Every structure is written in structure tokens, then in C-alpha cells.
Amino acid sequence: MSLADKYPQEVKKILAKYPPEYKRSAVMPLLYLAQRQDGYITKASVQDIAGMLDMTTTDVVSIVGFYTLFHDQRAGKYRMQVCTDLPCAMRGADRFLEELCSHLGIKVGETTSDGLVTVEAVMCLAGCDRAPMFQLQTAEGLEYHENMSVDKTLELIAALKNSGGEVK
């Protein structure tokens, strides 16, 4: 099913934001919509969006590749993306990430064996004064979790597991 069939209101609203002769501007919002639908950007979505916006599939794939919040592969249900940039690192972010991964029995970039959480190191998230911090990316969107400790994070993961997947 195409995005326009599945989300007619959203697609219409997105396209209305840009001049009709520049409908390519809608590619990023439409990719978000596709990612929300499938959890990642599928080849079918790429073709769907390319057709809708008169773009080549190569162009659409290049957008997916360039921007780090778009994913062309399935990962854990939650992507736990820890900022390890300079200000966070001076407040223990590297150690936090290392200890978290060791508790989960995974390496950075890997997914827990139950498929729940993929832990990643990412660049600055504008939360420098509240490190250690991470964002939790799901198909639905993003949540920030700040002033975190390994214990608090493990509690959060347990809660996510028990809730069957709802964020927060």
C-alpha cells in the first residue's frame, strides 16, 4: 500500500508546505512517514516516494544515506543513541556507554539478543549540560533521556520490555 493511500491526510498536509513546483522538498517528511510505517525505509517506500515526487530512486536512497536518522535496515525496536561528544564525554558519557554495553552483553552498535534495544554512539544532541544522555529512537519518533546513570537506563530498558514496547 502506498503512503498516499495509507496516510492521505498526512501526505496532503506535507505537500501543502512547499511550492507545487518544488515538491521534492517533501522527501524528508515522507521518509519519516515511511519509517514510521515499517520501522525502517524499505525499497518499496523508496520507489513509492520517488514516484510521488518525480525523483529517481537513487536520489531518494542518497537522502536516506546522508541523514543519520534515516535507516535502511531493521535494528532493535529501540535505538538507544548515546551522545559521546566532547562536553558529554567530560561528564562521563564514554564510561557510561561502555558500562551500559557491558551490562547488556553487547558491543556499541549491536542489538540485545531479544531484539529490543540497539545501542549506538552518536554526535552531539544539544544536551551537553545533562550528560550522560541519549535519545531513544523508535519508528514513532524520538525521546530524550538526560542525566542518566547505568542503573536508571537498565531500569528503563526493563520497563520497555515489560510494557511490550511503549516509550515511557
Partner 1 sequence: MEHILLRHREIPDLKKLDVYRKNGGFQAFQKAVTQMRPAEVTELVKASGLRGRGGAGFPTGVKWSFIPEGIYPRYVVANADESEPGTFKDREILEGNPYQFLEGVAIACYAVEAHVGYVYLRGEFWRLAQEIEACITELEQAGLLGQALFGTDYSLRIHAHVGAGAYICGEESALLESIEGKLGQPRIRPPFPATSGLFGKPTVINNVETLTNLPLILEKGADWYRSMGTADSPGVKIFSLSGRVKKPGNYELPFGLTFRQLIFESGGGILDDRPVKAIMAAGASSSLIVADDKALDTKLDYASVRTLGADLGSASVIVIDDTVSISWVISKTIHFFKHESCGKCTPCREGTYWMMHLIDRIEQGEATRENVELLHTVAKQMQNKCLCALGEFATMAPVTGIERFPVDFKASPAGGLHA
Does 67 bind partner 1 (CB under 8 A)? Our answer is: yes
Q: How far is the CB of 33 from partner 1 (least distance, A)?
A: 11
x/- mask, partner 1, residues 138-157, rule CB under 8 A, reads ---xxxx-------------
Q: Is 15 in the site for partner 1 (CB under 8 A)?
A: no
Greatest Cα pair distance, the chain, in angstroms, is: 52
Q: Around 139, how many Cα atoms within 13 Å sit in the side-chain half-sphere?
A: 19
Q: What share of the chain is helix, strand, coil (3-state, %, to 5)?
A: 50, 10, 35
In the list 15, 61, 69, 154, the residue contacting partner 1 (rule: CB under 8 A) is 69
Q: Are 119 and 100 in contact (CB under 8 A)?
A: yes
Omega within 30 of 0 (cis) for the link into 132: yes
> Is residue 127 involved in binding partner 1 (CB under 8 A)?
yes
- CB environment 21-33: b (16+ within 10 A), e (fewer): eebeebbbbbbbb
- What is the closest distance, in whole angstroms, from the C-beta atom of residue 123 to partner 1 in the complex? 6
Among 24, 57, 99, 161, binds partner 1 (CB under 8 A): 24
129 lines the binding site for partner 1 (CB under 8 A): yes
The CA distances from residue 102 to 14, 98, 107, 112, 142, in Å, are 42, 6, 7, 11, 24
Q: Per-residue b/e over 87-99, b at no fewer than 16 CB within 10 Å?
A: ebbebebeebbeb
4, 61, 75, 89: residue in contact with partner 1 (rule CB under 8 A): 89
Asked if 19 is part of the footprint of partner 1 (rule: CB under 8 A), the reply reads yes
Quote the least distance from Cβ 18 to partner 1, whole Å: 8
38 binds partner 1 (CB under 8 A): no
**Number of residues in the chain:** 168
Based on the shown chain and the rule CB under 8 A, indicate whether residue 135 belongs to the binding site for partner 1: yes
Q: Provide the binding-site residues for partner 1, judged by CB under 8 A.
A: 17, 19, 22, 24-29, 31-32, 53, 55, 62-63, 66-70, 85-87, 89-91, 122-130, 135, 141-144
